[in-house]
A and B are shown apart, each in its own frame.
Chain A
Amino acid sequence: MKISVITALAAGVIASGVYAEEVAPTAVSFEDGAVAQSLTGVAGDSANGREIVGDKGQGNCVACHMLTDLADVPFQGNIGPNLDGVGDRWSEADLRGLVVNAKMMFEDSMMPSFYRTEGYTRPGNAYTGKAADDTFAPLLSAQQVEDVVAYLATLKE
């Protein structure tokens, strides 16, 4: 018991050391649906972002969106718009806002909020069907959001 508390504390210290400037999910500030400030201050890694967008266990964006750059990922959904060219259509701040909480841009959007922790009805513990516990975390970490945004910005027609 004691040990796990200490471990948790230590992990907290390490995490805050690495991401000194990380913006908490509850502290993100929006303007017209866009988020100008980087969530971490660390430049996004677009190659990792590409991975997250296509990976079922991470962003799983392809569940709802098609995009030609990820044509090697089978079974792309067509719930949302095709993401080809989103880097032309939206600024980096817009893209960050869309990934953090698309409902700030599109009211009642079906798109999940990837960096939010509050305001859910019966939040669960991942896909177990059980109630959320204290491990509840946003769908993507702050740096993962930055990586996805960096990747989306490369999607030009």
Chain B
Amino acid sequence: MRKLTGAVLATLLTTSAAFADPVDDTLILNEETEVVVRTAAPEHLADAFDEVMSGWLFRGDETRAMQMDDFDNPGMIFVEQAEDKWNTAEGTAGKSCADCHGASEEMAGVRPTYPKWNADAGEVRTLEMQVNDCRTTQMGADEWKYTGGDMVNMTALLASVSRGLPMNVAIDGPAQATWEQGKEMYYTRYGQLELSCANCHENNFGNMIRADHLSQGQTNGFPVYRLKNTKLNAAHSRFKGCIRDTRAETFAAGSPEFVALELYVASRGNGLGVEGPAIRN
């Protein structure tokens, strides 16, 4: 009996190993919007990769299917909630996002360029930082918590209106120093397990680490709805989790370190289509 179970499991293991490669599949949203999930690697990555791939290709059939239709995508409920916020006046200026920006669809094309250099502030800003700047400077409203519900919902709305557009963050000019900092972090072996982002997502994508099928760790799907915690997760929450899993002292969401890392990781996905809110395990 014991032997039999062993044999059955061994077969399962072999089978799952055979499925460990990314699938050959096309992502079309709502039967109309095609999203690039696999494309030639950006020039700065030529030494590491020929192709960059979305995390979507590394998920199971059901998870992939769930993302293809907005009615099945649980992340879209939060997009709707953010749409309400978009149109609601808040703060001492009595303005809503829509008062300055028009309909949320007008923001198509914004998500793919973030994180982005802001000349007035003299810093690289994530989408979250920009949203909070609008809230405080333009609306006279309170800042939202970096990875709190309101913020992650709003970034999901901003991603959703850019779905299908290719990620396109700038890494040269004034953003370059921040990008270099992020790159340095990407290859640093953090924690007691001494694992870098590259160990898992550059050298071992497609392989299994215990039950997890490693992807290239791209950010084009963020914020992602995770089946594991049944909510939207910001990129910085994911970074935190990945660094924590190396038995390291992690960095805080919204910290200058994570802003730099986000710019660098986003640049590794330049060319991949925006998917947020994507569905992941």
Q: Which residues of A contact B (CB under 8 A)?
A: 56, 60, 62-64, 66, 68, 71-72, 74-79, 110, 112-113, 120-132, 136, 139
Say yes or no: B210 contacts A68, CB within 8 Å.
no
Bound Cα distance from A22 to B17, whole angstroms: 40
Contact of B209 among A64, A68, A123 (CB under 8 A): A64
Contact of B240 among A62, A79, A121, A129 (CB under 8 A): A129
Bound Cα distance from A63 to B204, whole angstroms: 13
Q: How large is the interface on B (under 10, 10 to 19, 20 to 34, 35 or more residues)?
A: 35 or more
Chain B residue contacts of A74, Cβ below 8 A: 9, 12-13, 211
Say yes or no: A112 contacts B193, CB within 8 Å.
yes
Give A121's nearest chain B residue, CB to CB.
B190
Say yes or no: B203 contacts A110, CB within 8 Å.
yes
Report B56 CB to chain A, min CB distance, Å. 22
Q: Which residues of B contact A (CB under 8 A)?
A: 2, 5-7, 9-10, 12-13, 17, 20, 188-195, 199, 203-204, 207-211, 240, 243-250
Chain B residue contacts of A123, Cβ below 8 A: 191-192, 247-249
Report B49 CB to chain A, min CB distance, Å. 18
Contact of A132 among B5, B188, B208, B249 (CB under 8 A): B249
Bound Cα distance from A21 to B152, whole angstroms: 55
Bound Cα distance from A110 to B147, whole angstroms: 31
Give chain A's interface secondary structure class.
Answer: loop
Bound Cα distance from A77 to B199, whole angstroms: 14
Chain B residue contacts of A79, Cβ below 8 A: 204, 207-209
Chain B residue contacts of A139, Cβ below 8 A: 192
Chain B residue contacts of A120, Cβ below 8 A: 191-192, 194
Say yes or no: B9 contacts A71, CB within 8 Å.
yes
Say yes or no: A121 contacts B248, CB within 8 Å.
yes
Report A157 CB to chain B, min CB distance, Å. 16
Say yes or no: B193 contacts A129, CB within 8 Å.
no
Bound Cα distance from A125 to B211, whole angstroms: 23
Give A120's nearest chain B residue, CB to CB.
B192
Query: Given contacts A71-B9, A78-B20, A79-B204, are A127 and B209 in contact (CB under 8 A)?
Result: no
